[in-house]
Structure 1
């Protein structure tokens, strides 16, 4: 069991609900359609990976290096991907776009992809 995966899965799930509601209700009238869709994408990916972390938390062994790499790849990926999207959208709305966040989003996507590839590697090669 990976307690870190369970903790972050729970936190990410909670925040995905809160931020998704924030976007759907408070930002809906203030953002254009593209901005709102980007915000929703961040919340969706965050929730998907929250669920993955919860499932993995009960199925991975946190004493194995590969399992820790998988969990940390997903955690880092969510933080960089989803939260950079939130920051970009909100800062654009406020008129002070945080341009440095732009390159962070694909880096987060890379970590998410790495987590999935490590999971595949574990089950094909190591299992």
Structure 2
């Protein structure tokens, strides 16, 4: 699981940079200000949480049986899909109802950080 978390974190970072560059160069003149802002938010949150996946992966390599770390990995991935994914689709499609999915991804991010913090308290405080 540590290897998968690290791989997915690195892949998410790679895609975050690629999507950011695509947005800055290809979408700047095609999107209105609102859609571009939504797209940029998706990229930022994807990138930040890809780094969190890398950290969780590194910690899982040291503490492979930690359910809190495994949970944080799952929640960060779920958050990226729900939060960033819904915002990417929203920015391209204009389907505003997708905005209702985005907070679920935000909750997954919050829960992922809570699990990571609890794991740090539990495992690193020993």
TM-score in same-fold range (> 0.5): yes
Q: How far apart, in 2, do the equivalents of 1:51 and 1:87 lie?
A: 22
Query: Is 1:122 aligned to residue 124 of structure 2?
Result: no
The count of corresponding residues between Structure 1 and Structure 2 is 122
Query: Displacement of 1:63 after TM fit?
Result: 2.4
Match of 1:23 in 2: 23
Match of 1:80 among 79, 82, 105: 82
Q: How far apart, in 2, do the equivalents of 1:81 and 1:98 lie?
A: 14
- CA RMSD between the two structures: 1.6
Q: How far apart, in 1, do the equivalents of 2:4 and 2:110 lie?
A: 19
Please list the CA deviations of residues 37-69 of structure 1 after superposition, one character each: whole Å capped at 9, or x if unmatched.
Answer: 111111011111111211221122332211110
Q: How far apart, in 1, do the equivalents of 2:107 and 2:34 lie?
A: 23
| TM-score for both structures, normalised by structure 1 | 0.87
SS at match of 1:102: helix
Query: Displacement of 1:5 after TM fit?
Result: 1.1
Contact residue 56 and residue 116 of structure 2 kept, 8 A: no
From the superposition, tell whether residues 62 and 98 of structure 1 become closer, same or farther in structure 2 (CA, over 3 Å): farther
Contact residue 49 and residue 76 of structure 2 kept, 8 A: yes
Match of 1:5 in 2: 5
